[in-house]
């Protein structure tokens, strides 16, 4: 009995194993005869598309990179602009975008077995950029914090910090090529230099920097000029009094002729948090001599712009963590400033303001404000009555984008261009954006990802070259594994009118 039982049990086990392995049974026999389809793997969807294009220009989507073992039956593209999807049997598509913006283009491919696969890529409509030019080309040195200026004769001047020295390069062909970098302010023993401003008027180049005394403390404002388009510079000279204060954050401007204005802020050397006021000096002979400093309200941090007769100045004022943007002006090339006007009126802390004026006399001011350093936003206001009143400030970049290191430039017919970066320091994952207005600040277009600037680009500075043309300079890369800190790049940018 036991033997019969074990024999039956063994037969049952063998039968179960045979069934699990596909033996016996009608349907399993058909599979072994090849009636069940083979392995159904999805196709690979991939395509090429321009990263940037002008509005109205024809762009091409090429899905030839897509593949499948059984062959692809159809290609379908959603261009992301609410136009109907396009489905066809060939992999190349063309399309026109009628509005500036960042669009997600979705490709879907279906193979001959009916299985689909998709891929999406972003295209920015409204701008194109030229191939970047490396101005510094010093892979073993530190090149950082570029500043740019455009003269009335088309001369482009770029200055930057490079391993102790302040360097300068010039372009006389609209940014296609630049001269080799030359020393503007040479490194000085016991001092750290920081370039803070460049202003141009024809072939006259005016520059201002901060010299930090590393040995005894304190900092002073130094100035140097060129009368030959930046080919050579005269020896630098001190502008701020050589005293026991920190004189920093200088800003410089010209009226397009021989008048030059410089502003800066003072703080106490020991108790550096105590403001010492802001100061204004002017030169009426092209920088050969300057007036005595005139003190005006505010903490350390001011900016200046000029027309042929008027000077506009901003400064910071107020208690810590609630500083406000103050506006002042002087008429007819005077050094006397008007009573300060609070234009930010924010419960937050405001700082890093930029003031500019367009040919129509409209005054544009941007600044950053935040409740803390991780909740930053970029603000903007404009005066259309020569600084008598300003419109209510508007948010240009909200805190969700975590903007930093921004710049602003005005155009010739009501344009204002604002650029900035988002991302985390030392991570090389920055993204550079630009927004602009063509109606004097009434409205701004959607922020567009800047062309030419890679994800390592940092601190963009922009100039307006005219006729929907910009120039941009930046540092790239900011940080790399071998501790190199960058080269200085320049690119021309064309925007859709």
Q: What is the pLDDT of residue 270?
A: 61
Is the confidence at residue 73, as pLDDT, over 70? yes
Give the pLDDT of residue 479: 62
> Where are the extended beta strands (E) located within 1-40?
none
Sign of the Cα torsion 334, 339, 343, 348 reads positive
Which whole number is the average pLDDT over 124-134? 96
User: Rounded mean pLDDT of 34-60?
Assistant: 83
Q: Say how far apart CA 486 and CA 316 lie, in whole Å.
A: 31
On whether both 64 and 173 belong to a single domain, the answer is no
Same domain, yes or no: 375 and 400: yes
Same domain, residue pair 257 and 350: yes
Confidence of residue 495 (pLDDT cuts 50, 70, 90): very high
Portion of the chain with pLDDT greater than 70, in percent: 87
278 and 264 share a domain? yes
pLDDT bin (cut points 50, 70, 90) of residue 274 is low
Residue after which a domain boundary falls, among 125, 158, 178:
125
Q: Is the pLDDT of residue 478 over 80?
A: no
Q: Are 56 and 149 contained in the same domain?
A: no
- Overall number of domains in the chain: 2
- Whether 77 and 153 map to the same domain: the answer is no
Residues 118 and 136 in one domain: no
Please give the backbone phi and psi of residue 38, each rounded to the nearest 5 degrees, phi first.
-75, -170
Query: Who contacts 64 (Cβ-Cβ below 8 Å, separation ≥6)?
Result: 47, 91, 92
391 and 256 share a domain?
A: yes
- Confidence (pLDDT) at 33: 28
pLDDT of res. 191 = 83
**What's the pLDDT score for residue 27?**
29
pLDDT band at 426 (very low <50, low <70, confident <90, very high): low
Last residue of a domain, one of 69, 97, 125: 125
- Give CA 8 to chain center in angstroms: 81
Nearest of 104, 77, 105 to residue 89 by alpha carbon: 77
pLDDT exceeds 50 at position 5: no
13 in a structural domain:
no
Say which range, 10-19, 344-353, 370-379, 431-440, has the weakest mean pLDDT. Answer: 10-19
3-state helix vs strand vs coil in the chain, percent to 5: 5, 50, 45
Specify the CATH number for the domain of residue 113.
2.60.40.10
Domain that residue 142 falls in: 128-495
| CA nearest to 108, candidates 119, 97, 100 | 119
**In this prediction, what percent of the chain has a pLDDT beyond 90?**
68
My answer on whether 114 and 177 are in the same domain is: no
Is the pLDDT score of 415 beyond 80? yes
Residue 404 resides in a domain? yes
Q: Are residues 368 and 442 in the same domain?
A: yes
Q: Above 60 in pLDDT, residue 31? A: no
**How many angstroms separate the Cα of 403 from the Cα of each of 282, 374, 398, 420?**
33, 9, 8, 6
Q: Kindly report the average pLDDT of the chain as a whole number.
A: 87
Q: Does the residue 35 lie in any domain? A: no
Specify whether the CB–CB gap between 208 and 250 falls below 8 A: yes
In the predicted structure, residue 68 carries a pLDDT above the cut 80: yes
pLDDT digits (tens, 9 = 90+) for 481-493: 555 568 899 999 9
Give domain status of residue 32, yes or no: no
- Closest of 128, 137, 51 to residue 491, by C-alpha: 128
Kindly state the average pLDDT of the residues 35-39: 43
Report the alpha-carbon distance of residue 411 to residue 343 in Å, rounded: 22
**Confidence band of 360 (pLDDT split at 50, 70, 90):** very high
Q: 177: domain CATH number?
A: 2.120.10.10
**115 part of a folded domain:** yes
- Look at 146-150, 151-155, 386-390, 441-445 and tell me which has the smallest mean pLDDT: 441-445
What the block records as the tokens of 197 is 């401003």
Within-domain flag for 38: no
Confidence of residue 8 (pLDDT cuts 50, 70, 90): very low
pLDDT score for 485: 63
| pLDDT tens column, 238-256 | 999 877 788 988 999 999 9
- C-alpha distances (whole Å) from 295 to each of 133, 264, 271 are 41, 10, 20
Rounding to the nearest 10 degrees, give the CA dihedral for residues 326, 332, 335, 340: -20
Q: Are 141 and 283 contained in the same domain?
A: yes
Do 229 and 84 lie in one domain? The reply is no
Q: What is the pTM of this model?
A: 0.86
Would 390 be classed as within a structural domain? Answer: yes
- Specify the higher pLDDT residue, 334 or 91: 91
More confident residue, 329 or 486: 329
Domain stops at, among 81, 97, 125: 125
The C-alpha atoms of residue 188 and residue 185 are separated, in whole angstroms, by: 8
pLDDT value at 18 more than 70: no
Q: Does 213 have pLDDT greater than 70? A: yes
Judge whether 474 and 457 are in contact, CB under 8 Å: yes
d(CA 313, CA 59): 45
């Amino acid at each position: 009995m036991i033997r019969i039982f074990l024999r039956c049990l063994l037969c049952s086990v063998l039968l179960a194993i045979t069934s699990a392995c596909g033996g016996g049974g009608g349907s399993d026999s058909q599979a072994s005869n090849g009636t069940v389809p083979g392995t159904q793997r999805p196709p690979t969807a991939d395509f090429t598309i321009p990263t940037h294009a002008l509005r109205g220009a024809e762009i091409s989507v090429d899905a030839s990179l897509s593949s499948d073992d059984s062959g692809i039956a159809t290609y379908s593209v959603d261009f992301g602009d609410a136009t109907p999807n396009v489905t066809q049997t060939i992999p190349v598509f063309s399309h026109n975008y009628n509005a500036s913006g960042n669009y997600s283009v979705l490709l879907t491919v279906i193979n001959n077995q009916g299985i689909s696969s998709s891929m999406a890529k972003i295209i920015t409509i409204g701008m194109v950029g030229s191939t970047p030019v490396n101005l510094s080309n010093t892979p073993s040195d530190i090149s950082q914090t570029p500043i740019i200026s455009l003269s009335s004769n088309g001369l482009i001047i770029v200055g930057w910090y490079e391993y102790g020295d302040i360097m300068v390069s010039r372009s006389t062909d609209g940014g296609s090529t630049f001269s080799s970098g030359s020393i503007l302010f040479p490194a000085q023993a016991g001092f750290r230099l920081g370039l803070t401003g460049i202003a141009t008027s024809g072939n006259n180049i005016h520059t201002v920097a901060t010299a930090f005394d590393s040995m005894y403390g304190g900092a002073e404002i130094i100035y140097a000029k060129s009368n030959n388009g930046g080919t050579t510079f005269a020896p630098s000279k001190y502008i701020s009094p050589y005293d026991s204060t920190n004189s920093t954050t200088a800003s410089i401007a010209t009226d397009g002729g021989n008048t030059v204005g410089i502003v800066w802020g003072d703080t106490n050397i020991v108790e550096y948090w105590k403001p010492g006021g802001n100061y204004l000096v002017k030169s009426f002979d092209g920088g050969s001599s300057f007036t005595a400093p005139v003190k005006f309200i505010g903490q350390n941090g001011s900016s200046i712009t000029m027309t042929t007769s008027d000077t506009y100045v901003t400064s910071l004022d107020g208690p810590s963590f609630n500083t406000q943007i103050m506006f002042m002006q002087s008429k007819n090339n005077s050094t006397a400033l008007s009573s300060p006007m609070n234009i930010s009126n924010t419960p937050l802390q405001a700082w890093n303001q930029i003031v500019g004026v367009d040919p129509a006399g409209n005054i544009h001011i941007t600044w950053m404000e935040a409740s803390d350093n991780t909740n930053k936003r970029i603000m903007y206001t404009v005066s259309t009555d020569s600084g008598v009143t300003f419109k209510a400030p508007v948010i240009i970049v909200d805190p969700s984008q975590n903007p930093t290191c921004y710049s602003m430039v005005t155009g010739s017919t009501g344009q204002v261009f604002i650029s900035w970066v988002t991302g985390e320091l030392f991570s090389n994952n920055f993204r550079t954006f630009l927004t602009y207005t063509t109606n004097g600040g009434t409205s701004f277009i959607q922020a567009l990802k800047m062309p030419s600037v890679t994800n390592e680009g940092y601190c963009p500075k922009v100039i307006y070259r005219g006729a929907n043309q910009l120039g941009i300079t930046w540092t790239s890369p900011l940080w790399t594994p071998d501790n190199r800190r960058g080269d200085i790049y320049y690119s021309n940018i064309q925007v859709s009118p």
